[in-house]
Amino acid sequence: MGILQVQDVNKSFGGLKALHNVNLDVEEGAVHAIIGPNGAGKSTLLNCFVGRLKPDTGSVMFNGTSLLGIAPHEINQAGVARVFQTPEIFGDLSLIENVMIPTFAKRDGAYTVNAWGRIDQAAEIREKAEHILEDVGLAEKQEMHANSLSRGDKRRLELAMCLVQEPKLLLLDEPTAGMSRADTNNTIDLLKRIGERGITKIVIEHDMHVVFSLASKISVLAQGTVIAEGAPEEIKGDPRVQEAYLGGAHL
């Protein structure tokens, strides 16, 4: 039985059926990619996992617990973290502060600011944050303001903010969007290294180089329906996928 089980999920926006009887079984430790053309329903599905949207019908079970009807922060506390398409970071704070905040938020439900307008620097939390910044290759920039980072580094910082929460399931929404090829390859390497920690990952991605470098399983969505599912090699050769995804072009 998978760590995340999605059964018969339907979601409509007015007359538009964005998700139609979607089923998904994500195995623990897997890198499960969700691919599909623009408007296929990928983000809508991800939003149903993190409490941003509620399916009209169906169930989403994580580790045996339903994720439906509980608040986003409770889903987060249950061990689900998400990296967004546009990094959600605190631009005026340093990198180290950015990485410390989620730990406070998880522990206290908020973070505390002292009289100097700095976040309180509990030693053990700072140490943990330093290790994570080292892991994502940002150790040397830890005192810089997050605003001053390049786009690629901002995404790495957001990843660090997720990792510090020690999630069981990491949701990555286009983790390499807008990156140069070099940054994309660095991110692939980084995500592979993170894989060694046994964190299950769901990746939404348009870049097939990223998908085929990382995924152990791929689900293909088209017009709100899962049209194919399997190992990367199976998906690559599936004519339905080539037709739906690229209008017949080869993946």
What does the per-residue mask of binding to ligand ATP show for 27-66, with x meaning CB under 6 A? ---------x-xxxxxxx----------------------
Is residue 23 within the footprint of ligand ATP (CB under 6 A)? no
Is residue 189 within the footprint of ligand ATP (CB under 6 A)? no
Residue 92 to residue 96: CA distance in whole angstroms: 12
Least Å from the CB of residue 164 to ligand ATP: 27
Q: Are strands 217-222 and 200-204 parallel, antiparallel or unpaired?
A: unpaired
Kindly tell me which residue out of 18, 99, 100, 169 binds ligand ATP, with binding defined by CB under 6 A: 18
Is residue 15 within the footprint of ligand ATP (CB under 6 A)? no
Which parts of 20-178 fold into alpha helices (H)? 42-49, 72-77, 95-108, 123-135, 151-163
Q: Give the residue with the Cβ less far from ligand ATP, 146 or 228.
A: 228
Element (H, E) at 221: strand 217-222
Q: Give the residue with the Cβ less far from ligand ATP, 41 or 51.
A: 41
Q: Are strands 4-13 and 16-26 parallel, antiparallel or unpaired?
A: antiparallel
Q: Is 166 helix (H, G, I), strand (E, B) or coil?
A: coil
Tokens, residue 106: 């998880």
Point out which residues bind ligand ATP (CB under 6 A).
13, 16, 18, 36, 38-44
